[in-house]
């Protein structure tokens, strides 16, 4: 199946790659990150290798890296701006 949009698997692998890059940028080993976050070392290794991780563990890792706020906009309803747009497009 071909698609221009990301699949859940694509997204989870991309998240894992970005996580790993940030972990390395912060100069944290996998063992240190696992210990400090409360996520098992096996779960962390699996996440970085395959992208598979529980939501709770992902949030723990994000919290440790001061990125928990990145999740605040997920599943938020988007504002309906159509009424505002009408103000600028309707002729008197």
**Quick check: is 77 in a domain?**
no
Specify the number of domains making up the chain: 1
Say how many CA atoms lie within 13 Å of 36 toward its Cβ. 13
21: CATH: 1.10.260.40
Q: How far is Cα 53 from Cα 34, in angstroms, rounded to an integer?
A: 13
**Quick check: is 84 in a domain?**
no
Cβ atoms within 10 Å, residue 19? 21
**Quick check: is 85 in a domain?**
no
pLDDT at 81: 64
**Quick check: is 47 in a domain?**
yes
- The domain of 58 spans 8-67
**pLDDT by residue, tens only, the chain of 92 residues:** 566 788 999 999 999 999 999 999 999 999 999 999 999 999 999 999 999 999 999 999 999 999 999 999 888 887 766 666 666 775 65
**Quick check: is 55 in a domain?**
yes
pLDDT at 5: 82
CB 6 within 8 A of CB 20: no
pLDDT at 1: 57
What tokens were used for 71? 């999740």
């Amino acid at each position: 199946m071909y698609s221009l949009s990301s699949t859940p698997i694509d997204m989870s692998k991309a998240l894992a790659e970005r996580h790993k890059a940030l972990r390395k940028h912060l100069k944290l080993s996998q063992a240190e990150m696992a210990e400090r976050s409360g996520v098992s070392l096996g779960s962390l290794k699996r996440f970085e290798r395959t992208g598979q991780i529980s939501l709770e563990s992902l949030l723990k890792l994000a919290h440790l890296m001061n990125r928990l706020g990145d999740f605040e906009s997920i599943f938020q309803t988007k504002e309906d701006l159509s009424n505002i747009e009408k103000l600028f497009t309707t002729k008197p």
